[in-house]
Amino acid sequence: MHFHEIKQRLTTEPVASHQKDAAILLPLVQIENQVHILFQVRALSLNAQPGETCFPGGRIDQADSTPKDAAIREFTEELGIDPSLLSILAALPKIESPRKGLIYPFVAEVYSLDTIQPNPEEVDDWFTIPLDYLLHTEPTTGYITITIEPGENFPINQIANKRAYERKTYQMPEYFYTYNNRIVWGLTARVLNSFLQHLKQQ
């Protein structure tokens, strides 16, 4: 493989490689001259995270050409907004989820919420939070303790310092954003925090 091939592959939009990989959209919309972020609340009838706040998105299907296509499709299916009413602004760094594979987040501008029609089988409610509020309000941070145990076929005896990986524990931060009795946390808050940090650094 030559350098120009390496460059081409690294600059080509990624294709999901795991059956659990998912794509999500972080939607921005202008409301009364202020940029807001659109969130949705998962339907209470769902098996996974019912009633939780999240961004539109879901698993990448084989019919999706790219993770970006999957994010747009899921946004349309869940909120009923035609894809012609949004524009992808940028991709955020991928996030690895132990239970869900890789998550591909994309930031999008939504031109109007006038036609929003949430799918009741997937979405219980929706709301927005002003971007300026989130940029100037630090989240509450809690920590989850995670224990690592080598699984079956893990070659622990081939590792020089194997004791460091036997029942290794570490803490992972969890962010909690609150606004008007709404709470954003978990994977959604991690994506949100990544987005906000990018804006603050610029």
pLDDT of residue 98: 66
pLDDT in tens, 44-101: 878 777 889 999 999 999 899 899 999 999 999 999 999 999 999 999 999 887 666 8
Strand, coil or helix: what is 178? strand
3-state helix, strand and coil shares in percent for the chain, rounded to the nearest 5: 25, 35, 35
The long-range contacts involving 32-35, CB below 8 angstroms and separated by at least 24 positions, are: 34/130, 34/131, 34/132, 35/130, 35/131, 35/132
Q: Identify which has the larger pLDDT, 71 or 151.
A: 71
Quote the percentage of the chain above a pLDDT of 70.
Answer: 94
Q: What is the mean pLDDT of residues 104-112?
A: 96
pLDDT reading at 39 higher than 90: yes
Helix or strand holding residue 95 (H, E): strand 95-97
Residue 105 is classified by DSSP as E
pLDDT of residue 96: 85
Domains belonging to the chain, first-starting first, are: 13-201 (3.90.79.10)
- What's this model's pTM, rounded to 2 decimal places? 0.83
pLDDT reading at 158 higher than 60: yes
Mean pLDDT of all residues belonging to the chain: 89
Estimate to the nearest angstrom the gap between the alpha carbon of 140 and the chain centroid.
19
Distance between CA atoms of 183 and 54, rounded to whole angstroms?
10
pLDDT confidence band for 19 (50 / 70 / 90): low
Strand, coil or helix: what is 163? helix
